Amino acid sequence: MALQEITFTARIMVDENDDINGEHLCEEIQAYLNSAYYYDEPDDVERAEVTGWNICNPFKFNSFISKEVY
């Protein structure tokens, strides 16, 4: 099965003094994606991979309300 590309966008409200590290966010998303695979899966399984990031201020988003503290 061939991989397909998706784009995931989230709105994050921050204080003007917050320093958001886009690379670290990618690392956390990659860790989440990696958790979907088992250690005994064959090496030829194509695994999901974060390939880039961008911090911007787009205007249209789906709302997200956290249901718990993560």
The answer, yes or no, to whether residue 61 has pLDDT greater than 70, is no
**Per-residue pLDDT, 70:** 47
Q: Could you tell me where the DSSP H helices lie in 1-70?
A: 22-34
The answer, yes or no, to whether residue 28 has pLDDT greater than 80, is yes
Top-confidence residue, 70 or 16: 16
- Looking at residues 53-58, what average pLDDT do you find? 70
The answer, yes or no, to whether residue 41 has pLDDT greater than 80, is no
How far is residue 10 from each of residues 38, 58, 64, measured CA to CA in Å?
27, 10, 8
